[in-house]
Structure 1
Amino acid sequence: MGSGEGWRDDLERWLEPFLAGLSHPARRRMCPLYVAGLIGPGDRKGVQPMAARSGEAGYDQLHHFVAAGVWVSAPLEAALLRETDRLVGDERGFLVIDDTALPKKGQHSVGVAAQYASALGKTSNCQSLVSVTLACREVPIMVGLRLFLPETWTSDPERMTRAGVPTNRQGASTKPEIAIQEIDRVLASGTRFGCVLADAGYGSSGVFRQALSERGLLWAVGLSRRQNVYPADVGLIIPVAKTGKWRQYHIADQLPVAAETMLAGERWQTISWRRGTRGRLTCLFAARRIRVADGHKYRMSDNRMQCMPGDEVWLVGERRPSGEQKYYVSNLPAETPLRRLAAAIKARWVCEQAHQRLKEELGLDHFEGRSWTGLHRNTLMTMIAFAFLQDRRLKAAGRKKESAVLRLSRACRPFGKPFSTSSHDHKRDDAHIVEGAAIPKPNLIAKVVLD
């Protein structure tokens, strides 16, 4: 991390749209100090160590700001969405839905329970948050982190009240339901993106996929390999009843099969979607048009319930070099080439990068408060800090791009090859700066942008 302190002045200016949402002067003073504490040096980013390093605010002041102060987060969340849209909002971008776990000891921190932690790959005592990340050209900025309350909490109103869970959040909500609420918030802000991405934890929910389609959104999400699907050309018939009333609903003229069975006989192609640190990333992919068995349920003659075909979508399979197989569905247009389907599906990795950066560099999982309010205010401050770092990263990449243009211009002149350096050309280059080699590697963001 750079020794210069110029970034602190930049942070003060950058935070002005956020500070406008804080009416009290003391809170407008604490917010920059808290965000600077998250960005600054130090291995631990809890309130106490940040206060000790700051020298400008005591522990009680910082803790009161984040955990007990009377202020509303909504204006700051709206400002974060506006800034994020300015930085990476694009009709070609992605809104990535995922979840991340914060390991915790004890049982008093809000939402803590023994549940699956994706970061650890096992069930552990932790808090689980639904995350929403806006990304374009491999540049992610997180805009939402909302706590999931497991059944051990939603079944105990007194416990939730002690932890300060708002009454409108005390009902049981699944992670896909929380994700849809967050997506609605992003849509209401006018933030630009082109496609929603999610893993099978969300994509296997037919209700989640249907909710995305009802909102007119394109999506590419994970799917269980055991999910029943029909071929796209499945026929629908009305069975003739021998006795009783006529049947009212269509049924399929074919039986559904598992997603992995549907693609077993397809032609698998080697697809490369981007360059990694060790060269091009490639896997085997196959795709075909299908209809997921998530329509109305029908009781068959053998008394078995069977889901009827839903809308026509893409079924995509991925075979990794390790032997692992993954399956996805997408409502991208029928003419979409396999390479584009694969690129959209694999773009979800940027949210994992964002989770890692927020934890390793900004101490997302260091917060020691127990309340709902404190947890969500800390996650908000962490996302604001990350957005600031990404802003500086993009500006640094733009300056390097501009320097490269000027160097090339000077190199061309002696040979009578004028090279345009007009403002129009600069703007055209800036639109693609994140695709150039001048961008710092993501794991060097905190080091580079503060120099």
Structure 2
Amino acid sequence: MAAGHSVDPARWQAMFDQVMARIACRFGRVEPRAAARTYLLGLLSGVERKNCWQLAEQAGLARPGPMQRLLRYARWDAEAVRDDVRAYAAERLGTDGGVLIVDETGFLKKGRSSAGVQRQYTGTAGRIENAQIGVFLALATSRGRALIDRRLYLPEHSWSNDPERRDTAGIPETVHFATKPRLAQEMIEAALDAGITVPWVTGDEAYGQDPQLRAAFEARGIGYVLAVACSMRVRINHGRTLVRADTVASRLPAVAWQQHSAGNGAKGPRFYDWAWIHTGTSSSHRRLLSRRNRSTGELAFYLCWSPTEVPLSELVRVAGVRWSIEECFQAAKGQVGLDHYQVRHWTSRHRHITLAMLALAFLTALAADAAPDRPASTHHLALSRDPITLTVPEIRHLLAAVFNSPAVTAARLLHWSNWRRRHQATARRSHYRRRTTSEPTG
């Protein structure tokens, strides 16, 4: 569906039907199965707010009752559908060289009745707000990235130890307080147990600082590149010296720093200076990875471990992939309404989140299938006059037209898609060239 490809509504419909057939056994009756199909089509549509009321209106229903029943009372297994999402994403994106990424995102809420809500810091707002915090797991490969698991963080004192509040919000008795690193460990081990065979895990400082989480990854034989604070103490000199990460970086000679790109961003390659040093014993594959901004000198640090020796460029690649989950959050919230739910109950929230993850995985699979086999080098991207490849937002826009405006021809859809993506390619070339000419050389 890039230049030279055709928009094939029949094929898209067939692929959507395959997704529905995959999860059909999770619904005991035909009514919730049909409602789930309608709900997913609504999430893929262009409706502004993807809550039960507007999804019902989009579907031509007289009232939101069927959508509300699907989330709250209908009998179906959201955890099993979550497993289907994970398996579907792995099949369509592959796992070779893949990375599992863990991170959290906030869902701003009013009141105090929504499961897990309280005033707490959320990076979504950049401050303390009344919010729910969801911990998510994403799979990122060369073909794309998708959210594959989710956990709702349940604050210990205001929720975990309040039976009446738990009961009102429908929180299962089996759910107890767990730190965010513990939730991350649960999701990653579940993915590995399900056969998601990837060599790497990455995450931010909230997860990198947890020694038990790092030990769990090592026990499973999966490498990690986890961000840590500058105050993290590491052992150098064959384990004899304990020193802060920023102190290690300050003592490195100039020749220790190498320029590498952490991957292509929206405005071009993300070049930084990188250095690494052995930590622990000389026989271990443990490293402290340091990143230095070439313009500001700002430093960032990562603790790394791998079961076998790997080059610096591989650790840099994994560190750069971590930002993919932010793109997942942006796409999930902006395209399929991940945060549009207006429900308070534990079951309703998890069902909406699961269906939104499935909608995102479907869009990602379509985008992966549409991506042409052509070089992805920075030089090619800077010079190419081809339209950019189909993105998740573009796919969702086209799907909405196909499913809701059948009178629009495939040729017309392709014409406007190519027009938009050619203009985006022009803007990208400009960004890349500006980045290349302004990049410090020292």
Q: Same fold (TM over 0.5)?
A: yes
Residue correspondences, number = 379
- Point out the more displaced range, 97-106 or 19-28: 19-28
Which residue in 1 is equivalent to 2:47?
42
Which residue in 2 is equivalent to 1:316?
289
Q: Show the 5 A alignment for 1:46-57.
A: 46-56=51-61
Matched residues in 1 for 2:396 and 2:356: separation? 13
Q: Deviations over 1:323-354 (max 9, x none)?
A: 43211011026742222211111111111000
Q: Show the 5 A alignment for 1:363-374.
A: 363-374=337-348
Q: Show the 5 A alignment for 1:221-232.
A: 221-232=226-237
Q: 2:28 aligns with which of 23, 26, 33?
A: 23
Q: CA deviation at 1:443?
A: 4.3
Q: Show the 5 A alignment for 1:55-204.
A: 55-56=60-61, 58-137=63-142, 139-151=144-156, 152-169=158-175, 171-204=176-209
**1:166 alignment partner AA:** P
Unaligned runs of at least 5 residues, structure 1: 236-253, 293-308, 405-435
Which residue in 2 is equivalent to 1:424?
none
Determine if contact 1:272/1:280 at 8 Å carries over to the other structure: yes
Q: Deviations over 1:306-325 (max 9, x none)?
A: xxx99761101112234432
Matched residues in 1 for 2:290 and 2:70: separation? 48
Q: Show the 5 A alignment for 1:278-357.
A: 278-291=267-280, 313-320=286-293, 321-332=295-306, 335-357=309-331
Check 1:38–1:232 CA distance in 2 against 1; reply closer, same or farther (3 A cut): farther
**2:369 alignment partner AA:** K
Q: CA deviation at 1:442?
A: 4.6
Q: Deviations over 1:353-396 (max 9, x none)?
A: 00000001111111010011111110000001011111211222
Q: CA deviation at 1:272?
A: 1.7
Determine if contact 1:33/1:57 at 8 Å carries over to the other structure: no
Which residue in 2 is equivalent to 1:420?
none
Q: Deviations over 1:399-439 (max 9, x none)?
A: x55xx9xxxxxxxxxxxxxxxxxxxxxxxxxxxxxxx9862
Which residue in 2 is equivalent to 1:391?
365
Q: CA deviation at 1:135?
A: 1.0
- Point out the more displaced range, 132-141 or 372-381: 132-141
Matched residues in 2 for 1:369 and 1:147: separation? 14
Check 1:387–1:368 CA distance in 2 against 1; reply closer, same or farther (3 A cut): same
Check 1:72–1:183 CA distance in 2 against 1; reply closer, same or farther (3 A cut): same
Which residue in 2 is equivalent to 1:270?
259
Q: Show the 5 A alignment for 1:224-243.
A: 224-235=229-240
1:12 corresponds to 2:17: yes
Check 1:129–1:118 CA distance in 2 against 1; reply closer, same or farther (3 A cut): same
Q: 1:444 aligns with which of 391, 394, 410?
A: 394
**1:391 alignment partner AA:** A
Matched residues in 1 for 2:285 and 2:250: separation? 19
Q: Deviations over 1:194-244 (max 9, x none)?
A: 211111110100011011111121111111211111105134xxxxxxxxx
Check 1:190–1:102 CA distance in 2 against 1; reply closer, same or farther (3 A cut): same
Identical amino acids, percent of aligned pairs: 26
Determine if contact 2:32/2:70 at 8 Å carries over to the other structure: yes
Check 1:47–1:20 CA distance in 2 against 1; reply closer, same or farther (3 A cut): same
Matched residues in 2 for 1:310 and 1:261: separation? 23
Q: CA deviation at 1:78?
A: 2.1
Q: 1:257 aligns with which of 215, 240, 243?
A: 243
Matched residues in 2 for 1:118 and 1:312: separation? 32
Matched residues in 2 for 1:219 and 1:289: separation? 15
**2:220 alignment partner AA:** R
Check 1:57–1:198 CA distance in 2 against 1; reply closer, same or farther (3 A cut): farther
Determine if contact 1:226/1:259 at 8 Å carries over to the other structure: yes
Which residue in 1 is equivalent to 2:404?
none
Matched residues in 2 for 1:310 and 1:258: separation? 21
Matched residues in 2 for 1:53 and 1:448: separation? 17
Matched residues in 1 for 2:218 and 2:239: separation? 21
Matched residues in 1 for 2:392 and 2:272: separation? 23
Specify the SS of the correspondent of 1:66: helix
Computing the radius of gyration over CA atoms, which structure comes out larger, 1 or 2?
Answer: 1
1:361 corresponds to 2:335: yes
Matched residues in 1 for 2:49 and 2:119: separation? 24
Q: Deviations over 1:94-120 (max 9, x none)?
A: 111111111111111111111111122
Unaligned runs of at least 5 residues, structure 2: 1-6, 375-385, 401-412, 414-442
Q: CA deviation at 1:75?
A: 2.4
Matched residues in 1 for 2:292 and 2:48: separation? 39
The alignment yields a C-alpha RMSD, in angstroms, of 2.5
Specify the SS of the correspondent of 1:366: coil
Check 1:269–1:449 CA distance in 2 against 1; reply closer, same or farther (3 A cut): farther
Determine if contact 2:222/2:307 at 8 Å carries over to the other structure: no
TM-score by length of 2: 0.80
Q: CA deviation at 1:190?
A: 0.9
